[in-house]
Structures are given as structure tokens and as C-alpha cells.
Structure 1
Amino acid sequence: MKLNNKTIWITGASSGIGKSLAIALSKYDCKLILSARRTEELEKVKALCKQPNDVSILPLDLANNEAMTSMAHKAISTFGKVDILVNNGGISQRSAILETSIDVDRKLMEIDYLGTVALSKALLPYFVEQQSGHYVVVSSLMGKFSSAYRSAYCGAKHALHGFFDALRLEHDKDNVKVTMICPGFVNTNVARNALTGDGSKQGYQDDMTENGLDVDVFVQKMIKAIRKEKYEAYIGKFEKFGVYVKCLSPRLIHKLVLRSKVK
């Protein structure tokens, strides 16, 4: 698939993967719609793009599910169409199950799962009407196998796979594509911004994230997966092989993750 002349809507575009993706895609002949809560940060990302006149800012809060239909209409009217929705927005979590408030579990599901689903459903009638569309969903390797201290995050990411696998099946006839992007450790601020058991931010980086893939390297691999319209893409260092290990032996991946002592 060529990205030229496409209109691509990216959520979570104010930092991390979303920011790097926007800058990288701006080098193609395409239009970009950037969404996140922080308008000032989105404006900074827009300024870094190669063709700022082809970039539009659309502030969006994934926690506000009721607003998604109007957000979809605004996005479509911005450049007259939307070809690809990159569902990148979300938050992470770092805390033991026993120490995690149910409110934190609820918040992760509301934002990472329901916010993404609500936005995707709001855009779906348009994709069906035009008989084309592509959902790119930034999940995680934690959507394929789990790790300790990420229970709420793993639950939300696993849920995304269940929903979008069903969407792909139901709308194959409408030429609607779904690509699940599953990052491993990527060097962004995701760990610093992760919620702890009481809902406060962790506030510091962990070694595994610090030593993860450079975000710009990750994004180039992500764009390649989008262009190939892959069903799923596992992008990381050694940790990506955990997906295949779990298929072979759930007991073995359990032992390997325990041994890694990831926190």
C-alpha cells in the first residue's frame, strides 16, 4: 500500500511513538490529523513536520467516549476524507495487583480499550460507506502475553486484540483493514507516565524501557508493517520472540518472564 495521497489520523500524537510517527509520515505526500489532549504539544509536533500546511490539529480526550462521533465528523471534514486511523493514544501501568485500586483498572480500560473502540466505531460507518479504510492499533507485546506489574495494561491490550480481530472478520467484505502493532520495549516516556496502584504517575524510567528500541527505528518498522497491511507486527528486540514461545509452550513463557524480573 502506498501512503501518498492518504489522509492519516493519529491519536496520542503529542509525544513518544505518535510524535515520531507524525514526523516520519510528514515526509510522504500525505495529509495528517494529529490528536491528543495537549494542544500546545501538538502544535510543536506540527511545527516539526516537513509540510505543516498538510497537518491539522484536532484535540481529543480518549476518556470522553460520548464525543467520538463528533470527533470523527470533524476529522473527515478537515481534509475531506480519512484513509487510516492510527489508534496510538493510551496510558500504561506499573504496580502489583494487590496494590492496584480497581479505579486504576477501570481507567486503563476506559482509555486504552473503550476510548479506542469508541473512536473506531465512530469512524466505521464512514469506512463502510467508502468501502475502504485501515485501522492501525498500537497494542503491545503485552496484548499477546503478560508480565507482572502490568495487569491492568495487559488486560486492556488483550481486549483490543479480541475486538479488532472480530472487526476484521465482520468487515473484510467492506475492504476494511486492521493492523495490530505490538511494541516491545521502546525508549519513550511510557514508563514515566505509567500509573501506579493509587493512580499517581510512576515518574521514572526503568532500565528495560531505557534500553529499548530507539523510537525512530521503531516507527520505521511500524510504517513498513502498515504499508504491507500486516494483520499483526511484533516490533522489539529479543522480547518479541515471547509471542512465538507462548504459542509453543505457555509454561515456558511463564518461566522466562519470571526469570527476566521485569518490573
Structure 2
Amino acid sequence: MTKIKDSVVWLTGASSGIGEQLAYQLAEKGAKLIISARRQEELDRVKATCKSDTVATLKIDLEDAFSLTQKAKEAGTIFGEVDILINNGGISQRDTILNTSLDVDRKLMDVNYFGSITLSKKLLPIMVQRKQGHHVIVTSTVGIINTPFRSGYGASKHALHGFYDALRAEHHDDNIKVTIVLPGYIKTNISYNALIGDGSKQNKMDPGQEKGMPPEKCARLIVKAIESNKHEAYIGGLKEKMGIYLKRFWPKAAAKAVRKLRVT
């Protein structure tokens, strides 16, 4: 079991959606919590709503690779060294491959993949030295079964699976834990903020998102997965979970099924 009470937890993407709800639940469980995102005013709002006196804000931009090294050092000075890193920050995509510029593909990888692994790589040496640490990465069901209009987003999530599976294997003997979380449709603003082919925002809610799981329920299941040291946690409706198993055991049937999905 991973103990959250009194553990130093660093959470990215904490200003809205799943991350905001995670912040509230982690604070209530007694974590020494560092919340990060790009918008300081939203971080201040979330902090003020948390039922805890041990919550600090640390503004970061996951696309700003140069600053992340310093931010990782700074995180370790707030409450002590980080015990649990929750890489939740990221952006999504809604457009065809033909219509999506390479700049958008690069941005998706910079934020979703390189931003996350940079923080993990910077914290890892101290975790190995201390023989303790837990990396939690919030990916997506498209990290296993991708759909149309999410080519770059799905690619960034697939990449995270490859990296964190290797991290888990390499540092098992160092008592470093890895939990990969795969949400399906969760009712957040992720589709509003998703990038279309030219890099602008979609600015509308997807039908699946509209009917998705409430983010507070998703956050509760993520906390449970962290405490249970799960390797992978599938969170969402039956359809999303069945899609993952269909892809793994009947890939041809999965390929046929995703062609029929109404994804935006």
C-alpha cells in the first residue's frame, strides 16, 4: 500500500478537471500537496478550496523544457523530497492526420510526453537514493486503443506507456512504483481545449465527454489505484474498458469498431 497521509505529493494539471478533483481528495487525505499548472490564479483558487493547511502552489509550463529542471528542484524544497509524482497535466487533439500540422504533433509530444518524463527523470535520482518513490501517470484509453481525430494525442499517450513500463522494470529493486491510469470519457473541459489542425482550440464538448464519468468519481478511483499500487487502472464506462481488452485480444475486431465511433 502507498500511504498518502503525510506523503509529499506533487500534482500537475491541478487547475481544472480531474487534477482539480484530485487536489481536493489528496488534501483531504492529509497529503503534503504541491499543485502545479500554468495559471496561477486558478491554482490559488484550488488551494483556497482545499481542506488542508499543507497545500502549496508551483506554477509550471510543461512545454517549457528549460524551466522544468529548476521546478523539480524547487518542488523538493517546499515540504521535503517528493514521494509521489502525479503527472496529470496535458492537452488533447481533435482533427485528422491530413489536417494536423507537424507543429501541433510536436506540441502534443512536448507537453504530454516530454513534460511528464522530464519531471520523472529529474526526481528519479533522489528517489533511487532514498529507495522510495511513486510515479503516477494519467494517460488515456487511447494510449492502448486509439481512434480517429486523435493521432498525435494517442501517439503521446502510447509513448508514455512505453517509458513508464521501462521505468517500472528498471527500478523495481529500488522500490520505485509506477501506476499508469487510463481514463475513458470523463466530463471535463478537455475537448473544449483540444487542439485542431492549426493549433487553435476546438471550443466544444464532445458527445462522449458530455455523457462521461464525473471527474470527482474519476479522481476517487485514481486515489484508490495509487493507494493499492496498481500497475494499470482503467477508469470509465464499460464500453471504454471493453475496447481495451478487444484491442489486446482481438485487434482486427477493434480496428473495425473504432472506424464506426463518433468521436467528435
Distance (whole Å) between structure 2 residues aligned to residue 217 and residue 108 of structure 1: 26
The correspondence of residues 144-155 of structure 1 with structure 2, limited to 5 A, is 144-155=144-155
1:143-171 deviation per Cα after TM superposition (whole angstroms, max 9, x unaligned): 01110000000000000000111111111
How many residue pairs were aligned? Answer: 262
Equivalent AA in structure 2 for residue 215 of structure 1? P
Equivalent AA in structure 1 for residue 251 of structure 2? P
More displaced 10-residue stretch of structure 1: 116-125 or 188-197: 116-125
Matched, 1:66 2:66: yes
Question: What's the counterpart of residue 31 of structure 2?
Answer: 30
Contact conserved, 2:207 with 2:263, CA < 8 A, in 1? Answer: no
Question: What's the counterpart of residue 22 of structure 2?
Answer: 21
More displaced 10-residue stretch of structure 1: 251-260 or 129-138: 251-260
What is the Cα-based RMSD across aligned positions, in Å?
Answer: 0.8
Distance (whole Å) between structure 1 residues aligned to residue 31 and residue 138 of structure 2: 20
Matched, 1:128 2:134: no
Contact conserved, 2:243 with 2:254, CA < 8 A, in 1? Answer: yes
Question: What's the counterpart of residue 222 of structure 1?
Answer: 222
Using the size of structure 2 for normalisation, the TM-score is 0.97
Contact conserved, 1:65 with 1:115, CA < 8 A, in 2? Answer: yes
Contact conserved, 1:65 with 1:119, CA < 8 A, in 2? Answer: no
Distance (whole Å) between structure 1 residues aligned to residue 107 and residue 263 of structure 2: 23
Question: What's the counterpart of residue 116 of structure 1?
Answer: 116
Matched, 1:241 2:237: no
Using the size of structure 1 for normalisation, the TM-score is 0.98
More displaced 10-residue stretch of structure 1: 144-153 or 62-71: 62-71
Distance (whole Å) between structure 2 residues aligned to residue 259 and residue 247 of structure 1: 19
Q: CA deviation at 1:69?
A: 2.0
Question: What's the counterpart of residue 255 of structure 1?
Answer: 256
Question: What's the counterpart of residue 7 of structure 2?
Answer: 6
Paired residue secondary structure (1:244)? helix
Q: Stretches of 4+ moved more than 6 A in 1?
A: none
Distance (whole Å) between structure 1 residues aligned to residue 164 and residue 244 of structure 2: 18
Structure 2's unaligned 5+ residue stretches are none
Distance (whole Å) between structure 2 residues aligned to residue 99 and residue 73 of structure 1: 39
Distance (whole Å) between structure 1 residues aligned to residue 30 and residue 91 of structure 2: 30
Distance (whole Å) between structure 2 residues aligned to residue 261 and residue 38 of structure 1: 32
Paired residue secondary structure (1:73)? helix
Question: What's the counterpart of residue 158 of structure 2?
Answer: 158
Paired residue secondary structure (1:5)? coil
* Sequence identity percentage: 50
Equivalent AA in structure 1 for residue 116 of structure 2? T
Equivalent AA in structure 1 for residue 178 of structure 2? V
Distance (whole Å) between structure 1 residues aligned to residue 135 and residue 51 of structure 2: 24
Structure 1's unaligned 5+ residue stretches are none
Equivalent AA in structure 1 for residue 243 of structure 2? G
The correspondence of residues 85-124 of structure 1 with structure 2, limited to 5 A, is 85-124=85-124
Distance (whole Å) between structure 2 residues aligned to residue 245 and residue 50 of structure 1: 41
Contact conserved, 1:16 with 1:215, CA < 8 A, in 2? Answer: yes
Q: CA deviation at 1:81?
A: 2.1
Q: CA deviation at 1:240?
A: 1.6
Contact conserved, 1:69 with 1:123, CA < 8 A, in 2? Answer: no
Paired residue secondary structure (1:99)? coil
Equivalent AA in structure 1 for residue 227 of structure 2? R
Paired residue secondary structure (1:100)? coil
1:178-235 deviation per Cα after TM superposition (whole angstroms, max 9, x unaligned): 1000000000000000000000000010110010001111111111111111111110
1:57-108 deviation per Cα after TM superposition (whole angstroms, max 9, x unaligned): 0001101112222111111110012110000001000001110011000100
